[in-house]
Structure 1
């Protein structure tokens, strides 16, 4: 745990190295000191079909799913770190967002 899921518009594959971004996000999560490296899971899912307003702007949304227990400040710091790394990689070419959420007690492994 945690799960970091990156959803992005498929055309972004032609603009950035998705594998390098995944590695950067992974290291960003390690650097927070909130997680043991061995428990972090980061994956990317491309979206071939999407709508974003009237101009079909490219996007990248990241959801981080955590077991409950982190403070709001820790979640804010994590989200800001990941957004910063995405901003560096994408340099204004897409709409970017990060959401940090607690899993419910109904999570099973």
Structure 2
């Protein structure tokens, strides 16, 4: 935990290497001081077809963050701002770059090490 899932148009991968995108999101998450670096997971899902942005096929990046509950709204807002700022720097011509954060409930979270 946490998980950062990056959905994007496939064309994004012609502008930057996938590993570069993943590393930059990972670094931003580490730099906030909210997470242990070894706990951060980042995945990239490029979409070639089957998407619309404002009714047309336009390039986009959207990061979905799933984190354990307990961080303040201020911490989460800073995390979003830092990641979107870095993505905007890497992709200055991309018209849509956004992020949202969802909290996991500690009481209902389970992984294999907890069993």
Deviation of 1:108 after TM superposition, in Å, equals 2.0
| Residue pairs, 1:1-109, within 5 angstroms | 1-49=1-49, 50-104=51-105, 105-109=107-111
Output the aligned Cα RMSD.
Answer: 1.2
Give the distance between the partners of 1:43 and 1:51, measured in 2 at CA.
Answer: 21
Deviation track 1:37-95 (CA, whole Å, cap 9, x = no partner) reads 11000110111221112331111100110111000000001000000110011012241
The alignment of Structure 1 onto Structure 2 pairs a total of residues equal to 109
Deviation of 1:18 after TM superposition, in Å, equals 2.1
Give the distance between the partners of 2:67 and 2:56, measured in 1 at CA.
Answer: 33
Report the TM-score when normalising by structure 1.
0.92
Corresponding residue SS for 2:25: helix
Between 1:54-63 and 1:26-35, the stretch displaced more is 54-63
Give the distance between the partners of 2:55 and 2:39, measured in 1 at CA.
Answer: 40
Give the distance between the partners of 2:44 and 2:96, measured in 1 at CA.
Answer: 16
Report the TM-score when normalising by structure 2.
0.88
Deviation of 1:106 after TM superposition, in Å, equals 3.1
Deviation of 1:100 after TM superposition, in Å, equals 1.1
Deviation track 1:5-52 (CA, whole Å, cap 9, x = no partner) reads 000011211122221011011011100000011100011011122111
Name structure 1 gaps, 5 residues minimum: none
